[in-house]
Amino acid sequence: MIDKTILHCSATKEGQHFTVEDIDRWHRARGFAKIGYHFVVYLDGSVHKGRDISEIGAHCLGQNTNSIGICYIGGLDQNGKPKDTRTPEQKAAIIKLVDELKKRYPTMTIHGHNEFAAKACPCFDVQEEF
């Protein structure tokens, strides 16, 4: 039963474009069966499917069985330091996607990866925004 959505960043530098295929390759190199996220939001705000929503994700240790993972491309400044690099299009797309998921899973809560792991990811305050 899905009871939460966890937001992530790809931990890539601001303005650099990456795709679902890139993340899938990175995750497979780490031993995953496939991309761990259910959705990836590109710089232009387009939303792309990763792992099917019916499949358990591989995006947050200890939380995968009951959560949906959303990743936006970015999260680091030009020096590789954590930064909220979301474009206006990404911000709007994430809000829309979360709203759609909340209709499907009305009791779902929204979290940042950093709430479950000692990481900066997703590099913005999810609780403040949602």
Domain boundaries, the chain: 4-129
Does residue 27 have an active-site annotation? no
Does residue 8 have an active-site annotation? yes
Alpha helices in the chain (DSSP H): 20-29, 88-104, 126-129
For the domain covering 4-129, report its CATH number: 3.40.80.10
Q: What is the pTM of this model?
A: 0.97
Confidence band, pLDDT 50/70/90 cuts, at residue 31 = very high
Burial class (CB in 10 A: 0-12, 13-18, 19+), 73: buried
Q: Which of 4, 27, 37, 42 is catalytic?
A: 37
Burial class (CB in 10 A: 0-12, 13-18, 19+), 65: exposed
Does residue 119 have an active-site annotation? yes
What is the per-residue pLDDT for 83? 98
Q: Which of 13, 91, 102, 119 is catalytic?
A: 119
Give tens-digit pLDDT for 76-98: 999 999 999 999 999 999 999 99
Does residue 72 have an active-site annotation? no
Does residue 17 have an active-site annotation? no
Confidence band, pLDDT 50/70/90 cuts, at residue 62 = very high
Confidence band, pLDDT 50/70/90 cuts, at residue 23 = very high
What is the per-residue pLDDT for 59? 97
